[in-house]
Chains A and B, each alone.
Chain A
């Protein structure tokens, strides 16, 4: 047993940290203020990230590398772990910017998880966004109403998608749609739509609480025709097989959102510790919490929660790297890191007083940014449902 960041991934983590520190932090406030403006600095970064992913470790990192590994000889610290570690550092820099790095979209992870070989080759190195949520179907993604109808060699898509991260920036949109609304989950498939395809339009961009550097689009699909080869995975409706195909993505991406939450929270906690040190509080673990100042004890509690969230995240990633089913553990990581990350940024804001709530510091921004991490990729409550169903052996109709 050894729960340290592996030596071979340390150079990669340091690189990612430098990006967070030297590329993201200097422009963090700028794109928070200029919502919807494309961060041009990221084009150059995207190339660097591609390079980092290839050089950082033998296994690579990034959204397009996330595959549950086959179990082979020995322990692996692979793409799931390196991506998680890298994202933590990038989000320590700026979470919104990390979300809008070209070619690192959630859609890329979805393609990797369910695409066949031909599709993998065709969509390689394209930037893919993910369109799941609808105005009337958020967490309840089984009841989406966007339809896909086979017409000759094409699928015809109709519906409205909201909360599409980078929906106006990506090359591809992975759209969840149902082949037959009467058949429930088994009929839900994911479809790749090229940006610019007639019938797909970006209707608007959201104005949000945080992660403003990352655009969030509403996308309308009106008789949008795509080649039938753009359906990802199995085109057959297999009732009973359930959601497995499309949901697989989440086992791999939930630990990544957890990793992001860890990064934002660490940024807030580190900065708060600096500010407290200037105010004369030294949280150096030399006295028990009961004998520390109230502020120090608060820091210790947050450190403990953050450490727990970080390790639960690495556990889920490690399991994925080693071919161990991790659905429960991925949700545990997401639930813990999501709520802890948010709570830490909020408490840090309060500890810093007016420095925490004013715009000279980034603490107020992190407090806004972190909230989304307890919501997207499955809210806190959805994670608890998943965990509880696993623990209690319940179906989704028993434990609703």
Chain B
């Protein structure tokens, strides 16, 4: 089935699409891979200062605390999940091998992705979206499900959405008015978080990318790595240490003088189109600082949301490993019987299931806390730590269970191996 046709089927089934009445003719769906270009973004940025001053920004309400421990997903979460799972199975997984090789999603990716309505789901109705309350759990589930299909394409899909949701959460009213409506369009802006920095032992709590206030402008110096879609991005949300104020977020158009982006493919999740971005004395307008003033962004929460998103992606890839090796070890015969009849093999599979569920539970708890406005710094930290620790085990076992066959590109476990290990080093990329 062609991607466009597969997308169309998902499209018509998407609850958000149906609710919003976005059903469009097939030819349009297929043709909307066209990009908006950074010119538009730059124009928006230039116009920022004169717009929307004094109005209060739109924020999504936190969901109320619940009375009972409850692992059920809501009907709405389930609908979104089913759509994401179909998309992962029918669109992402079949394209994964080629996207991995090319370090980019297929050309028709944008059109198919529009059907998921990720952008509209992230932004409030007043900007053309469908969001009214915080949906961190939905975001975590979508990340998990998309990554099951393909981690790299999942990151490519989620990176712009992360930018939107950060602006919904912390942006000023002017920034929201300038940037958010574009995310209601079929093709979201090419925007991406820039958090990781290229050095060993990187810790997002200790940024070396620095912004200095100079009059009513900022000057930005530093270098970011593992930036999703770096070369093609229109703008970045850059985490940088602002002297005297701690880590802040800055909106930086790629077209600004002093910004240079270059490809830097990683071991895995290659379809994300990772790259490095350098900021050499980039001069920014005061309006580039996210929020009304320094300190508006809750940086710890930002990192927590990122950690939960990355953990979710790793849970998804882990589940993909388990779902692939389970039938394989049952079918593969050695010494006259399926290799799964051996405890040494069967126990590896059992341990995969145990650790994936372990990661999932810790990740879900953190997401559910975030959704309800509860502090989740510790829980997100633990989810991320567990995912990185166990991700290594999942990666290795997945290949090991297929033996030499697992080492070849005839099977996806070598890609899962690379994806898990790359994801375990990613900061940025996605948020819940």
Q: State the A residues within 8 Å of B (CB).
A: 1-8, 75-77, 81, 285-291, 300-301, 303-305, 307-309, 311-312, 314-315, 318-319, 329, 332, 335-336, 381, 384-385, 387-389, 391-394, 398-400
Contacts and interface: CB of A to CB of B under 8 A. Distances in A.
Contacts of A291: 201, 203, 205-206
B361 A399 contact: no
A329 B72 CA distance: 15
Given A1-B71, A1-B367, 6 more contacts: A3-B361, A291-B203, A308-B361, A318-B70, A384-B343, A388-B349
A8 B67 CA distance: 8
Contact of B368 (A2, A76, A303, A319): A2
Contacts, number: 160
A388 B361 contact: no
22 contacts: A1-B364, A1-B368, A3-B364, A6-B69, A77-B68, A291-B205, A304-B383, A304-B385, A304-B386, A311-B365, A315-B361, A318-B69, A318-B70, A318-B71, A319-B71, A384-B347, A385-B347, A388-B346, A388-B349, A391-B353, A393-B330, A398-B338
Interface string B325-354: 010011000000010110100110111011
A388 B288 CA distance: 54
B330 A392 contact: yes
A182 to B, nearest CB: 26
Nearest to B63: A2
Nearest to A85: B69
Contacts of B357: 312, 315, 329, 332
Contact of A285 (B72, B351, B372, B377): B377
A384 B381 contact: no
B131 interface: no
A398 B362 contact: no
Interface in B135-173: 137
B79 to A, nearest CB: 15
A312 B369 CA distance: 17
A91 to B, nearest CB: 20
Interface in B70-96: 70-74, 77
B298 interface: no
B383 to A, nearest CB: 8
B216 to A, nearest CB: 32
B66 interface: yes
Nearest to B361: A311
B329 A392 contact: yes
B343 A385 contact: yes
Given A318-B69, A394-B340, A307 B347 contact: no
Nearest to A305: B386
A5 B137 CA distance: 18
B197 to A, nearest CB: 12
Given A75-B68, A315-B71, A399-B346, A332 B354 contact: yes
A387 B206 contact: no
B348 to A, nearest CB: 9
Query: Which range holds the interface residue count of chain B?
Result: 35 or more
Interface in B359-407: 359, 361-362, 364-365, 367-369, 371-372, 374, 377-379, 381-383, 385-386, 389
Give the dominant DSSP class at B's interface.
helix
B350 A388 contact: yes
B181 to A, nearest CB: 30
B204 interface: yes
Contacts of B343: 381, 384-385, 388, 399-400
B358 interface: yes
A247 B340 CA distance: 24
A392 B77 CA distance: 29
Contacts of A6: 67-69
B354 A335 contact: yes
A24 B338 CA distance: 51
A391 B383 CA distance: 24
Contacts of B202: 288, 290
A311 B77 CA distance: 21
Contacts of A384: 343, 346-347, 350-351
A62 to B, nearest CB: 19
B378 to A, nearest CB: 5
A304 B389 contact: yes
Contact of B69 (A2, A301, A329): A2
A399 B340 contact: yes
